[in-house]
Amino acid sequence: MQSLGSNGRPAGRGMSMRMGSAGVAVMVVVFLVAVVFAANQNDVIGWLVVIISLGWLLVFSFVVFTLRSAARKAAARLQGATGFGGTGTSGTDGQTPMAADRARDLKLEHSFKIVQVQVGVVREYLGKDEGMVERALETIEITSHNARSMMKNSGEGPVEGTVVD
């Protein structure tokens, strides 16, 4: 099995694109043949065939070029989605890298606020209510795990990044 885009051909020149180009070429030939026959015969039926073939040529060309541009836009969107996140499901919903960093920073800030609140809960209920302390510690553990996973590039490796003072 071969993944998309790994066949060495430039994007947008697949079998369907070549068939679309061949179809347009066939329609142009049909139109030119109709024009030649209509000019030779010089009757109304011949010119009606020319008009009909011209209409079909225009419709076919419109469909081919519209689908081709839509396919290129879709390919660019897919390329952009998989190029940034690596998997295409980066959780940023098609945002730019700067917006994704901003969203991640907001999520991390929220996680730190949760940890701060839970530290206050632990201090308040320490020695009074062990159940509350356990739930607060569990919340801190889950939140810190989620925050660490947001900061990592992948897997369970060490956290990478630049320390900013």
pLDDT tens per residue across span 57-97? 899 889 888 988 888 888 888 877 665 544 444 444 555 66
Assess whether 78 and 20 both reside in one domain.
yes
Tell whether 53 is covered by a domain. yes
Is the pLDDT higher at 121 or at 46? 121
User: Is 57:27 a contact under the CB 8 Å cutoff?
Assistant: yes
In this structure, which long-range contacts are made by residues 89-96, counting pairs with CB atoms below 8 Å and at least 24 apart in sequence?
none
Assess whether 52 and 25 both reside in one domain.
yes
pLDDT score, position 82: 62
User: Is 100:92 a contact under the CB 8 Å cutoff?
Assistant: yes
Output the pTM of the full model.
Answer: 0.39
pLDDT classification of 164: cutoffs 50, 70, 90: low
Assess whether 126 and 79 both reside in one domain.
no
Rounded Cα distance, 74 and 5, in Å: 13
Tell whether 67 is covered by a domain. yes
Rounded Cα distance, 39 and 109, in Å: 77
Over residues 109-127, the mean pLDDT reads: 89
For residue 93, how far is the Cα from the chain centroid?
8
Assess whether 46 and 22 both reside in one domain.
yes
The domain total for the chain is: 2
Assess whether 81 and 115 both reside in one domain.
no
Tell whether 10 is covered by a domain. no
pLDDT tens per residue across span 132-155? 889 988 888 888 888 888 776 545
137: domain range?
97-151
Tell whether 2 is covered by a domain. no
Assess whether 101 and 75 both reside in one domain.
no
Tell whether 45 is covered by a domain. yes
User: Is 160:152 a contact under the CB 8 Å cutoff?
Assistant: yes
Rounded Cα distance, 134 and 131, in Å: 5
* pLDDT greater than 80 at residue 108: yes
Lowest mean pLDDT among 19-28, 93-102, 121-130: 93-102
User: Is 69:9 a contact under the CB 8 Å cutoff?
Assistant: no
Nearest to 139 by CA among 157, 113, 159, 107: 113
